[in-house]
Amino acid sequence: MSSNNDKSNTFSSTRRKLLMGMATLPAVPLLAQAGLFSTPAHAQTPATADVNTTGLAVTDDEVTVGILHSITGTMAISETGSVQAEKLAIEQINAMGGVLGRKIKYVQEDGASDWPTFAEKAKKLLVQDKVAAIMGCWTSASRKAVLPVVEQYNGMLYYPTFYEGLEQSKNVIYTGQEATQQILAGLDWVQREKNGKTFYLIGSDYIWPRTSMKIARKHIEGHLKDSSVVGEEYFPLGHTQFNSVINKIKLKKPDVIYAAVVGGSNVAFYKQLKAAGIDLSKQTLLTISVTEDEIDGIGGENFAGAYSCMKYFQSLDNPNNKDFVAAFKKMWGEKTVIGDVTQAAYLGPWLWKMTVEKAGSFDVDKIAAASPGIEFTKAPEGYVKIHKNHHLWSKTRVGKALVDGQFEVVFETPDLIEPDPFPKGYQ
């Protein structure tokens, strides 16, 4: 495992290697002077026997967690930021005294963009390393592979990605948005502001894009007046040849291209769109899968003018986010960028810490029971709160992509949206 001194200014294989490293090392505090959180007065550390009754990797002065993301393969472009954010949060927590008086160390594993590998590594973290929690996964396919493992071995997974919903588990805290939080308000906005009537749906071929597009189609056809879907296609993860579907899009001339292409495929898709003469400053494209992290690989010049629907953008103008961005860049380099899932990954260690301290225990059953109602007022996206269904209340935002790879926020829901992972009428 890497130490938290690793820095890089560009997404590269070197960056991924530095993130992975070799072995389990304690997270050494680097951000004691970051200014983001104050260090509380020292409190007496509770006895290990009192806070760890289930044999987790908890000692008198340390607690071990797992980090499980893809640092290699097609999903590395999206997941590397999550690793960076989780390590930043761990550094900051350690700098202010840790959790129940114990410093956090982490064991990091590479899911390698392969779902069986995710399941295998999750079992290793829970059974062999006996981690107190796992911060991990990105795609729904990886989460679905890990879910039966964390349920069987009674682990706790903090999952950071916007996803399709239709799931709720005692053993998972979902720090990204479920589908109705991300999709519905965005579609309402694009019809209202861009006069979107006809939609062409395109996504990667696995559960999240397909389920998300099912929800989108039902909303377009059942709730948006005089609107219709004129095309819908899916492509395998890692796919790089999009000229055929781009030709179909040019023939159909939809008002809106609605995209959920994932991972490295985004680079090829958006470069080929531009090469085909589709100007995203004139052709409305709304995506639910491209953040600043993906634009770092796509190139801002290939995505400028498009719109993304997320709950977080690096450009959010609030004190929490300014502190977070400064600390992230201090740790990982000035040229690094921060996307929606990266920010949601940052929430995981903090929410876990607050829940452990509320429960007075590292035991998973006690953490699961204590999670509802946990509030994080320092979240970069703004205030967040864990719902009783283990999802977060959050806002929906739409950002317009700029040439520099950042977003101009053009829409924000006035209130937090209650998570509803089993929406009536959309299943």
Task: Evaluate the CA torsion angle 128, 133, 135, 140 in order and state its sign.
Answer: positive
Q: Confidence class of residue 25 from pLDDT cuts 50, 70 and 90?
A: very low
Q: Is the pLDDT of residue 10 over 60?
A: no
Please answer whether residues 176 and 312 qualify as being in contact, where contact means their C-beta atoms are separated by less than 8 angstroms: no
Helix (H) / strand (E) element for 223: namely helix 207-223
Percent of the chain with pLDDT over 70: 90
H-state helical runs in 111-206: 115-123, 140-152, 179-194
Domains annotated for the chain, with CATH where assigned, are 53-177+317-395 (3.40.50.2300), 180-311+401-412 (3.40.50.2300)
Residues 160-211: pLDDT tens digits?
A: 999 999 999 999 999 999 998 999 999 999 999 999 999 999 999 999 999 9
Average pLDDT, the chain: 91
| Residue-level pLDDT at 43 | 54
Q: CB under 8 Å to 117, separation ≥6 — which residues?
A: 110, 111
Q: Confidence class of residue 35 from pLDDT cuts 50, 70 and 90?
A: very low
| Residue-level pLDDT at 153 | 98
How far separated are the first and last CA of the chain, in Å rounded? 41
| Residue-level pLDDT at 132 | 98
Pairing verdict, β 228-235 and 256-260: unpaired
Task: Evaluate the CA torsion angle 382, 9, 65, 127 in order and state its sign.
Answer: positive
| Residue-level pLDDT at 418 | 97
Burial class, 37, CB count within 10 angstroms (exposed 0-12 / middle 13-18 / buried 19+): middle
| Residue-level pLDDT at 80 | 95
Judged by DSSP in three states, 331 sits in: helix
Burial class, 89, CB count within 10 angstroms (exposed 0-12 / middle 13-18 / buried 19+): buried
Residues 221-265: pLDDT tens digits?
A: 999 999 999 999 999 999 999 999 999 999 999 999 999 999 999
